[in-house]
Structure 1
């Protein structure tokens, strides 16, 4: 953004009192920088990489979000180790599905939006406020979605007031819906959601939630070619984030690898599901 005037000072627009929304400020003064303001020519199409499956579920005192690492472009694998789960601030995360480039740009703008609000207001935005702010940004992308460049994220965070993790899903029009216990988005979501329904139990510890999330992604990859399961040969594991009273943090690869190894061992000779129905 061109910000200095001929005198070397910031333009007056930067010095006026306004709202705590960075997105509204940019939309007013440099609208071309907003992802949703850049459309395709009439009749044009674009074949861009797409992110696929994200799963999220609550555990005792928090919420977990995990994403596979595959991006597809038509019938091709565009990327095998793409990151699809991002920390948006200290106590929330977002997972992306849909057009990858637009989704990542929207997430980065959302991260700045929350940081800007915190600096202006001197406090964190409420979890519902964050969810609704993301909804308005998705709503602004509707014109692009109508051209096939949709962004459909899932948002989760820790609610300090209630001391629990909460999950919010969206549609392409910006509709925001609170989900309970677990949810999944993306091309493999149907299969992942079926796995979550069978494996989820309320109040589980975080380590069991990690196992269930990886199993759900495994089941999604088993039936959906656009979803990449744990890649044992390349040692590429799903991205797993935990959010609770201690903040948002990512499970390192050396923490996910033993979970994958345990699932491989349990499913050897029985690839359709875990043995015995219990967590190992």
Structure 2
């Protein structure tokens, strides 16, 4: 669907994002018990952590049939005693989909902005870290546990599932993943992020980027973006994609990424009526 609020450049990026990422299935991807096409959606059931529902469109589902379909997905994860994210984009149809999700017990989380941009300018960035701070790629369980503790300090939510999920992704199979930790001079993890290289597509996607409050505004996040962009460029990817919070969006748009859509995770959790 054409969006008159978007530039031609943004529409081109959105089309590539929707064609290549929104319904992407990677057979045998690490960390998932099952990745399957269920009607118009891709349903991902993790080994640990929340499940995921993505799609490009709902194939005309509406009314009671859509309500029944939403309930069936919720019940799939209820039977597994797992939470699940339904990834809703602002231009998705039908327009009352958010209300239908809410009726089924899905609760909206913070709205984010889907940003896309070319890899090369970010890879060429000279973003520098503060003196004494170091950035390194990590793989050990100990480092992944430290990252989870930092994420919990930032967000105030349990991230106990994260080390195992990242460990599985690092081990493969599936799209390659690199995890980056930034450490203060005393060794404390103050920021962490990761990048997924979506093989066979133009895209690498950026994740994480959480930074402890005392260390924000010092160029650390920009340095992690530049490092991951260089990794993506070395693998031949053309575009970076990020689901950006309101805090990171201004930074990333200054770096050259373009807003192509908004997205809101609708979360269902076990025990919710």
* Shared fold (TM-score, shorter chain, > 0.5): no
The normalised TM-score by structure 1 is 0.30
Is the strand fraction higher in 1 or 2? 2
Instruction: Name which structure has the greater RCO, CA cutoff 8 Å, separation 6+.
Output: 2
Structure with greater Cα Rg: 1
